[in-house]
Amino acid sequence: MPKSPDYFKGKTIVITGAGSGIGRATALIFAREGANVVCADIDEAAVAQTVEMIDAAYDGQSLALGIDVTDRAAVNNMIELAIGDFGSVQFLFNSAGSAMRRAKFLDIDDELFEATYDLNVKGTFYAMQAVLPHMLASRFGVIVNVGSMAHRRGGGGSSVHYASAKGAVVTMTMGVAREFASQGIRALSISPGPVDTNFQTASQTSPELKAQMLADVPMKRFAHPEEIGELVLFMCSDACEYMTADTVYVNGGGGFR
């Protein structure tokens, strides 16, 4: 939570992947705090539903955008539309990402590898490049990117392509943080363990692999999307002003062996 009452009121956050899961949960949390929330997702119907949820619960200022984050021009337009509607952008949360599908290392083909990097790495890269000039002009901004516990473990047997892409996200976040720290910009990443979203279904996670993942978590449950969203809120707040260039592991105590 922020130190200052109404800290987020009137400030604007852009959230990619806001049509479901962590992105949607985070959008609702920032709306609860009075922020203007720009919700972007490739699934236009899903992101429109997120905005409907915000409007029904909080009567907040929100904008739904159907955006493919692998398209640089579309991402640039996303930021311009956000500024056009709300005047400025203080926060960016890059939540869009996926393992696409599970695959053993020797079964990862060019199509899967490139699609995984396009979504997870380029999507994050494009959004940061699009928003940074605006943040630098006001000498204030916080960027939070979604990494993964997988980058610590390598994804062997099911997702080396995804783990390596998220490793790139964590490294890129650190580099941006260090390059712009003296100009009022903070950049952080969150590396969750398994989260209870449709991610596992979308990436074709087998029941056996899900059971193995759960067995590795001492808390014996997956994270809830809202638990990640509340961390994003803290990272962006004035209670976290000295933290940058780090990734925070949220995994219920598992994932390090």
Angle at 113 between CA 142 and CA 95, to 5 degrees: 25
Q: What are phi and psi of 13, to 5 degrees?
A: -120, 140
Edge-first strand listing for the sheet containing 36-41:
62-66, 36-41, 12-16, 91-94, 141-146, 185-192, 247-250
Residues 245-256 as b or e (16 or more Cβ within 10 Å = b) = bbbbbbbbebbe
**Which residues neighbour 135 within 8 Å (Cβ) at sequence distance 6 or greater?**
89, 90, 141, 143, 184, 185
Task: Indicate the length of the chain as a whole number.
Answer: 257
Residues 7-39 as b or e (16 or more Cβ within 10 Å = b) = bbeebbbbbbbbbbbbbbbbbbbbbbbbbbbbb
Q: What are phi and psi of 36, to 5 degrees?
A: -80, 130
Residues annotated as catalytic (active site), given as ranges: 162
- Tell me 222's DSSP state: P
